[in-house]
Structures are given as structure tokens and as C-alpha cells.
Structure 1
Amino acid sequence: MFAKLVRTGFLIAAVGIAGCTNSSVSDFAPQHANKQLPEKILASMRAKSMNRNAPIMARVFKEENAVEIWKQKTNGRYDIIATYQICKWSGKLGPKYTEGDRQAPEGFYTVRPSQMNPKSSYHLAFNIGFPNAYDRANGRTGANLMVHGACSSSGCYSMTDPQIEEIYAFGRDAFQGGQTEFQIQAFPFRMTAANMARYRNDPNYEFWKMLKVGYDNFEITKVPPKVDVCEKRYVFNQVAPAGSTFNPTGACPASTQPDSLKVAYSEYQSKYDAAFASAMNGGTPAPKPTIAGIKEASIVSDWTRKRARGERVPLDPPSLNSDGSVSVSSRMGRIDSPAGRKMAALDAEKAAKEKAEREKAEAVAAAKAAKEAAKAQAVADADARKKAAEAPVQTATIPAEAALPAETQTAQSEPGTAAKLKKRLLGMFGG
């Protein structure tokens, strides 16, 4: 059955074998773009019955931070030849929705010679082909999504420079051998029953179930699946009737699938269902953060636009919580770029202008307050003078005892001298 399955895979595989033009093979820069694969890998190829220039395929797993390179053997099946740890990818688990959401894509993509960039500012790079037919049919936007070096990512899969040199060499050699395009399968995680059970309540689960069909087809056949899009969804290894085509936004044609593949898939699915049911009851690691659809993608995209303009924004992208609230980092800053420096200068100029205007307003207000206070004080002083002028003259009344000489008052205050005083007074007035 497997031999027949392999023959079927050859008929429906998306990887075409044809001659490249001279320019597509020779337009590679010198040095690191032409670096050869290490002898250790070449020896592994020989051990696995692989030709050096045989076709390749790549698989990417976000959660496991892994890029796998698979290469075709002489029997037509593919086998893994190298695995690399992703240095950095941005965003969360889940697909890319819109330009600026910083999501690394998930799905089935195609790389052709024209997408290889030996002169990349990120050492070496190749464009994975986002958006593909599925992305366009679902209104997803973005551009320049790469696998590249330099270990820096804003929506790409970034590797170290030595890693990208080897990955690039695999693609270059395959194109030189006649492969016209190679497939990249990008997944959120290895699509095992345990992992699918972990994420069964995630908003991206239905999308991941769709990707899993392609994942399973490759696991069964070890041949890259034929990928089409109809009714805005992926379909795998389907053969349309003569004269019919797969329209990404139209109805799917009444397609068929080889019987051998259907039988193998049914057996595979039965084992998967049992494993999934078992995983539902077992303890598993907690799910990783995932993007909450187009709403969160739009929030992050808006943050990205402000950041690109050089505005002062939270240093980390905002995140949409399950209750609909948005988490924003308290750490603020702006990127160090011409736009950022220009925006900083404009902000400083604006702040200085606002400060000058504020100080001027405060001075005017202070002068006005002082003038009003002086006016109020003048009115108060005038009122005081008026009241003083209108007040009646008071005549002092002197008590009788106060009119007497001081010595008399003193004598009166002393009982022993009263008789002497009386006699003296009588003498003075002839008494």
C-alpha cells in the first residue's frame, strides 16, 4: 500500500521538478550566500539515500521554537535532515491577521527562487509567501514576512546567522537541482492529540483543526500535500474533476481523493481520536498565550503604526484579555530611529511652547490678581478715611476726684491726714 501511496503522492505533490532559468540559479551573492552545507549533514544525506540537490520542504513549530528541514529520498518520500531552534519569533500563537499585528504567519506557504534574498540586511533571508490564497480570501494583510538571520523579529521567523546560512543552502541547492518551489508548513505547535486537547477551547481552534488535516496528510504520506483553497478554507490532496478549478472564495468542486490515502487517513484518525480522548482526562501543561482574533490584531496594529511614526508608546505591544479589557505596559518609550528622533524633537518643541504659554498665562493672571488686590485695598482705605471723617468728636469728662491736685488725692487716700487737709482748706478760704 505504501508504494502505491508514494506514487499517489508524486501525482499530487505541490513540489514541481523543472529546470530553473540561469538567472534564478546564479543570482546569488558570494561568501555566506554560497556557503556549502557542512560535511556532517552531507554524510547524513548519503546515509538516508538523499541526493544533495534533491527537493526540500520546511516545517515550523512556534511553541517548540523549531524549524525542520525535510529532504526527498530516492524513493520519493521525505525524511527529516536538520532541525534548528528558532532564535526569535514575534507575537503569540495563532495566525497573522493584519499588517502590523506582529504575528508570525501560520499556514501553508510556497517559496520560489525569486523569494530568496542573498543581500538581506538580516544576513540572509527568504520570503515565505504571505499572503497566500487562503490569506487573501480571508482579507488578511501583510508583507515581507521572512525567515531570516540576525535574531530579530517583528512578524518573521528569525534565526542566528549560522543557522540561516544552512537553511538558505538547503533551498539554494534544491533550486539548483531543479526544484521550482518548496513548501513551508507553519504551525502553532506539533499537532499531536495532547496539544490539540490543550487548546480545544482556544478561539483559534477551528483554524488549527483545518491546518491539522494538512499536517496529518504529510505525517501519513511523508510527501508534501497538494494545497488548494476553496470556500475560504484549505483543502489537501483533493483532485478536482476535469475542467474544474479551486476558487479560493467560491464553492469547492466535487473533488476526489485516492482510495489508498483515504484508507490510510481513516486509520490514522482512529488512533488520533483515541489519543485525544485520553488526553482530555490527563494532566497537560497550561496553554500558551494566543491572539484573540482580528480585534486584538487591530489593537496591536494601531500600536505598531504609532510606534513606526516615532510616537511615545508602551514598550511592549498591548494585549487583549479574555474579559475584553486591554493590558498595556506602564513602561513608555519610542524607537531610536529618524522618525523617533524627529518626533522627540517635535514633542520637545511642543512642550517648550506649552510651558512658555503656561508661564505667560500665569504671569498675566498674577498681574491681574495684583491689580485687583491693589484696587480693593485702595477702596478699603478710602472707606476707612470716610468713616473716620464722619465720626463725632468725643468730649472727655474728668471725674471730680481727678480734678484735685495729686497731693490732695493722695491725702484723701490716706485716713491719717484728712483732718489736716480740712483745716488747711478752711484757712485758705476764711473758714
Structure 2
Amino acid sequence: MAKSIHYITRDPWWDTDRTLLPELTALNTVRISVENGTGSLKYPVKEAYSAAELNVRNERYHYYDPRILFSTWKYCRNLARVSDNTDATVFVMGGSPFYLVFSCLLLDADRTVIAVHNYEQHNGGRRSLAERLIYRKFRHFLFFSELQKKAFGRSHPDMDATAVRMPLKTFGAAERKEGRGVPRFLFFGFIRDYKRLDLFIEAAEKTDADADFIIAGKGDWEKYDEMIGDDRRFICRRGFISDGEAAELYASADFLVLPYRDATQSGPALTAMSYSLPVICSDIPFFSSIVEDGVNGFLFDAGDADALAAVMERAARMGPEQYSAMREAQRAKAAEYSSGPSPAKAVSDYIEGLRRGRRREGAHGGDRSHILAEDIAQCGHQHNPDGRDGPDRHHARPVLPRRTRDGNIWDHTAGHHHDVVRHDTRGLA
């Protein structure tokens, strides 16, 4: 059954949205709201969702400008008003703390699904108070990795969560450009410390293989330029890579190299699958779930430059028949990965299940916006002694009351209602 869905996202998530939203808009009536902070805005120049209503907000103020509080409040209030007139809202997690807090305050907990890309923080970072508020207030969560869903379940066993596989990505067809006839190893994507570009460069310099080492992406290049020096085997494409350039890079490479320290998922790895491109990656859990060592790629000990160098030398020595078999295995892996219901269909079915569940619940909805202050107070003491987020192992998590649709509080522990004064926060401006 077609549903009306309000999809709230941010411009940095374009690469994921572009794989999910076209089909989701074909199955449902979708209104898309995009929040953009700074930098170039990708959505207006893309035409992937002709069937959807698209609303783009380009923030004019920097974080240190007090006016951003009012503009963000106004935007979030408008988001809530749109959501009130749809069957469900999908809120993609991310953004400034006040954007998250205002969204937490205004969006209906029963009719909102929180879509989470990175529940486990890169580099062991701690979740912000705003993020912990989101995890406390809302009841329904969508993850793009089974590993992330399981991690969330360990900290929040009482929450409803589902996982859909990340759709395979492609930048379009491209012809392979012949280079100088040597193996080509590609490092692609936004440059972040946890992706360990430094390890890729160090390992390449340890190899004696005659090969091209291609680095393409946007980020701070200064320290990497110093590492590369005058080594002519490195080919660098600095800055944002267009779709056409990305397609050419994937089509022309022999191996994609992902020496990440950690990863909750990886767009480049899934893109490589689309192009039947074998992958060389660290043996962290996510990569180990999609790469079989020696079959559709290679795994190496994470953080070990010598191990990565040895694997790249092994890859460079592969004969044509061996390499063709590896590409064919990657093609088969892509077919296996894509089998079953599409991610958009899975999301649509999940939302339909929630809608039916709300009808059965009747008056006992789960909107807890009015107790946000209590949530803030409790979230302030949410860290466990061992440093993990989530309920303290030594104390049971309190069951928070919920407001029914008639404006009263339903006390789960006592089983009766309490009259309360209703505050319409959406009237504030």
C-alpha cells in the first residue's frame, strides 16, 4: 500500500539517498527535506527524484552566529508540521546539536523512524548529548548494516530496530582507459584519518612492484603530499570527484584499496562490487563480511603496512586467468548481495508495519516530547563506568511515561492516567 512519507536528510548523505530514494518515491508519495550547512549543495543539480517534492534549506549562518538558533528552530518547526500530515517520517541522523535537539523536541516519536549510518563512532568517539537524546526519545530505528543494528541492540535492547542492506552504488558506465600497462591500485573517497591513506602510501613505498597508485578524493592533502614526495608511481586527483570521473576511475582500476582502521559500512566497497572490481581491505568486521580472502579480493591485518605491501605485490603478480576469476567472483558476490527484497521495499514494508501497529495501539501513542527536559537530565548521566553508552549494567533503565493522544500521561508502572497541562511547542516562533 502506498504511504505518504516525509524523508528528512542532509546534503552529505546524498550518495546514500541517491541509491534509496528513486525506488522509495516510486512505491510511495514522498516529500524530501534537505538541510545543507556549508559547502556546495549537491541536491539541486541532481534530478534523481522527479516524482518527489523536494524542499532544500541552505543555512545562511555559521554555527557561532546566534541567529542560527532561530533559523534552525523555524526550519525544524516546519519539518514537524509537514510530518504531521504524512503517515511516517524518516529522519536521517546527523547535523548540528541544536538541529538534533529541536528535531527531537518537535517530531512525533511514534511516527518517526530514525535512520542511522554510524551508530558506532569512528575512532572510538563519544556520542553527543543531542545524539543520546535521539536514542532515548524515539522508538523506531533503521540501520544500513546488520552489524550496526546488533551494536545498537546491545545498548538499547528495548528499542525497535531493523536493518536494510546498503544499496549497491554506481556512477554510471565508463570505458576502461588504458594506462602504461601496469596494475593500478585505487584509493577513492573523502580523505579521513580513519581511512588510513597514510598506510596505503607507506605500503606502496615498501613494494617493488611496478604499478600505479591512484589517490582520488577531497580532504587535507598536505601531510600526504609530504609522504609521497617525488614518487612518480602516485597519481593524485585532488578535490571533489564528479560522477563521470568516478566512473572512469573505477572502470580503469585493477584493485580498490581500503586500509580503514574501522568502518560501519563503505560506499566505495559497494561501488567496487557494482563494477566487479576486486578489493584489498583491512580485516575489520564489515569488510570481512563482504570480501572472501583470495576469492573476490584480499584481506590483510588492519594497521599493518608490511602486510598490505605483501598483498599488493601478490595482487600485482596475478596472471590474467587468476584476475579474471577474481572479477567474476566479485560479480557473483554483487548478485548475491543484491538478492532478496530491495532496500527501498524493505523500508516501505517496515513503515507499513509501524502504521498498522499504531492503529492497533489506539490511543496509547508514544509521543514524549513534553518530557524532553527530563530526558536531558537523565541523558546527562547516561555513560557507564566502563565508558560505553547505554543503560548502566548495574541499574535498570527507568521506564519513561508516554503521552496519550488525548493529552494525558500514561504511567506504565502504575497502569493509569494523570492529567497534565498540554503545551503546544509548535506555536512558538
Q: TM-score under structure 2 normalisation?
A: 0.22
Q: TM-score under structure 1 normalisation?
A: 0.22
